[in-house]
Amino acid sequence: MAKRITTFDLRQKKQKGEKSTMLTAYDYSQAKTVDEAGIDMILVGDSLGMVVLGYKDTLSVTLEEMIHHGKAVVRGSQSSMVVMDMPFMSYQVNRDEALKNAGRLIQETGAQAVKLEGGTEIIEAVKGIVDAGIPVMGHLGLTPQSVGQLGGYKVQGKDKEVAKKMVKDVKALEEAGAFAVVLECVPWQLAGFIASTVSIPVIGIGAGKECDGQVLVFHDVMGLFDEFRPKFVKQYLNLRENMIEGIKDYVKEVKEGQFPGKEHIFDLGEEDIKQLLE
């Protein structure tokens, strides 16, 4: 069994100026593929709600759904660190509830860390989870669980007040013991400044290459989700179109009697079949 990447490894990478990589996965096969490709961290993101479960946003995702998918991802991975998103309302109520739910995510899935959205307003929850020995990743900038309050999926930190709060929030997360922080949809100069002022890795998504690493959603990278594509996504493959072509070929071959072929069937031999059907 390979050794999984640790928070210590990630911090060392930052010190050496090496970039960290992170990609989401939501099931066993995806996790196996992502892990085998050498990704440092697998995020079981609550983007699960949109790209796997067909919800309109991430707010409907439940703790039970996260646990169900997290278990499969842990089973499918060996070397990557698995980070579980804490879903909406699983950590906002109070520190005790946050700790209880983080504990369930870790204990029931076998994942290595949890991720929470927000800064100073959730700092007590972060401290409680860290004090219990659970590694915490922060998430600032565009935080999809607050999409209503942010007025949509918009770039964050273009004005002084928001930028200042972001700098303060990252520092607060670092002081509370978070091992890394995701910055989503943030101007690259601000993200770069933040990455240079903290010792923990800053993982960007739509935040430029000055960050210490990058994270993207599996379905976006693979071209599996066609409902919208944010500007920051680079699509490396077009699996959805390939899959549609493959399925069309299958349908055609079944209809035309080309599938199954000789190589896909089980043959009894003439004598055996005679005896069998006698």
Residues belonging to the active site:
184
Q: Which residues contact 105 (CB under 8 A, 6 or more apart)?
A: 63, 66, 67, 70, 84, 86, 111, 114
Near ligand KIV by CB under 6 A, which window of 44-52, 119-127, 160-168, 267-275?
44-52
Q: Applying CB under 6 A, which of residues 20, 21, 30, 47 lies at the interface with ligand KIV?
A: 47
Q: How far is the CB of 127 from ligand KIV (least distance, A)?
A: 21
- CA 209 to chain centroid, in Å, comes to 19
How far, in Å, CA of 14 to CA of 197, rounded? 12
Does 145 interact with ligand KIV (rule: CB under 6 A)? no
Strands 20-24 and 41-44: parallel
174 lies in the binding site for ligand KIV (CB under 6 A): no
* Cβ 85 to ligand KIV shortest distance, Å: 5
CA–CA distance, 9 with 180 (Å, rounded to integer): 12
Q: What distance in Å separates the CA atoms of residue 39 and residue 203, rounded to the nearest whole number?
A: 13
Binders of ligand KIV among residues 76 to 95 (CB under 6 A) are 85
Q: Provide the residue type at 60 as one letter.
A: S
Nearest distance, CB of residue 115 and ligand KIV, angstroms: 7
Of residues 241-270, which lie at the interface with ligand KIV (CB under 6 A)?
Answer: none
User: Is residue 126 a contact partner of residue 113, using CB atoms and an 8 Å limit?
Assistant: no
Q: Output the smallest distance, CB 91 to ligand KIV, in A.
A: 14
Q: Which of 215, 221, 222, 224 binds ligand KIV (CB under 6 A)?
A: 215
DSSP percent split of the chain into helix, strand, coil, nearest 5:
45, 15, 40
Report which of 183, 184, 133, 143 is spatially closest to residue 7, judged by C-alpha positions: 133
Taking CB under 6 A as the rule, does residue 182 contact ligand KIV?
Answer: yes
> Nearer to ligand KIV by C-beta: 7 or 143?
143
Per the CB < 8 A criterion, the answer to whether 221 and 205 are in contact is: no
CB of 116 to ligand KIV, least distance (A): 10
Euclidean distance between CA atoms 14 and 204, whole angstroms: 13
| # residues near ligand KIV by CB under 6 A | 12
Interaction site with ligand KIV (CB under 6 A): 24, 43, 45-47, 85, 139, 182, 184, 205, 215, 217
